[in-house]
Structure 1
Amino acid sequence: MTILKGATVVFRREGYARARLEDVAAEVGINRASLYYYVGTKEELLVALVEQPAYEMTKHCEEALRSQRPADDKLRAALRSFIADLQNYPELFLLFSESQHIATIPEAAPIVANADAYGKTLLAIIEEGIKTSVFRSDLDSRLVMLGILGMHNWIHRWYVPGGRNTLNQIGDVFAEIVLSGLRPVSD
């Protein structure tokens, strides 16, 4: 098992605050001194875990924005990508559960900037939908974006793998809630 995979297991099992580098070393099957050769701090390990998956997530949202589809299809694609990224990169659950802590780590400044870029990209899709009359114009686009992020970023708190709903089912329901709320109201 790699150090990053071991860290993912330990951080999810123990919680980031309680996890120790010694726990990661034990999970991977190496001694603590060997681990310190590769990683200096727990914060450094957390940043290494979530940085690339977070960039992938933003890249997928940007791809949805750049696609030649109506805004509602772009938003659905962006939200489906969010769920797919959670499935493909389970370490993203750590990003969301530890987001307040990550924001305080100096080495994590690029991750924080990336999160801002994700929000701005999602906002651009919403604003495009409003401009093209695909979405309602009476809603504050920033609040819509924050509401969507709140729904999706909180999945880590209650989702149970193998539980009542799969991530895809959750994603489909969330996308329908969002899109039905954004559709223009008929007279």
Structure 2
Amino acid sequence: MKDKITENSIRLFEKRGFKETSIQDIVDSIGVTKGTFYYYFSSKEELLMDINLGYINCLLEKQKEILADNNSCKEKLFEIVYMLINNIKDQGSAAKIFFREMKNLNEERLALIVPKRDEFRLNVEKILNEGIEKGEFRADLNAHIVTFGILGAANWSYQWFDPSGVNTDREVAEIFVEMILEGIQTN
């Protein structure tokens, strides 16, 4: 039942927004009472935190697997970008909630999520710095800023990418990484 509440809440939050969705809306959508909701969650904010933690923990787990591989930094960068875009199929709605509704969490709850979000970003930055050291990436690269650019492009794809559209998730990831590594001007 907890999963059903969470799944329906994600859909409602995506469609209406966190603030505009009431607990009554959530329980009505699955035909249960508020008592059922409160059995699993103490508040709507706790539910939002649970959604956000589930999302970021899943990404970190997948990212750690990629980092553990003995691939080149370029390959690791591609795998992370591909993972983020591929993730839209299963987690696209949760991603939208994560990025759009995090502002609705209090400081105590944010303190559980923000360090995990930062860990994900810093892991990407480490790949770039390692690639600079190994000569895979330009020596003058500002890894800190480039990391934000990469994550900004990949994370914004949750707003527009359609997994059943013309381009596959792999094709989009390849385009992104080519653009990141090669730029867009002719040589």
Q: Same fold (TM over 0.5)?
A: yes
SS for the counterpart of 1:135 is coil
1:93 aligns with 2:96: yes
TM-superposed CA distance for 1:56, in Å, is 1.9
SS for the counterpart of 2:87 is helix
TM-score (norm 1): 0.85
- Counterpart mapping for 1:153-172 below 5 A: 153-160=155-162, 162-163=164-165, 165-172=167-174
- Counterpart mapping for 1:33-48 below 5 A: 33-48=35-50
Counterpart Cα distance in 1 of 2:114 and 2:16: 24
Alignment length, in residue pairs?
Answer: 183
Q: Which runs of 5+ in 1 are unaligned?
A: none
Report if aligned partners of 1:43, 1:105 keep a CA contact under 8 Å in 2. no
**Higher relative contact order by CA 8 Å / sep ≥ 6: 1 or 2?**
2
**Segment drifting more, 25-34 vs 66-75:** 25-34
Q: Which amino acid aligns with 1:33?
A: G
TM-superposed CA distance for 1:136, in Å, is 1.0
TM-superposed CA distance for 1:132, in Å, is 0.7
Counterpart Cα distance in 1 of 2:24 and 2:86: 32
Q: Which runs of 5+ in 2 are unaligned?
A: none
- Counterpart mapping for 1:15-164 below 5 A: 15-90=17-92, 91-102=94-105, 104-160=106-162, 162-163=164-165
Q: Which amino acid aligns with 2:19?
A: A
**Segment drifting more, 156-165 vs 107-116:** 156-165
Counterpart Cα distance in 1 of 2:164 and 2:107: 33
Counterpart Cα distance in 1 of 2:85 and 2:60: 12
* Cα deviation digits, residues 35-82 of structure 1 (max 9, x gap): 223222211111111212311212222222232111101111111122
Among all aligned residue pairs of Structure 1 and Structure 2, give the percentage whose two residues are the same amino acid.
27
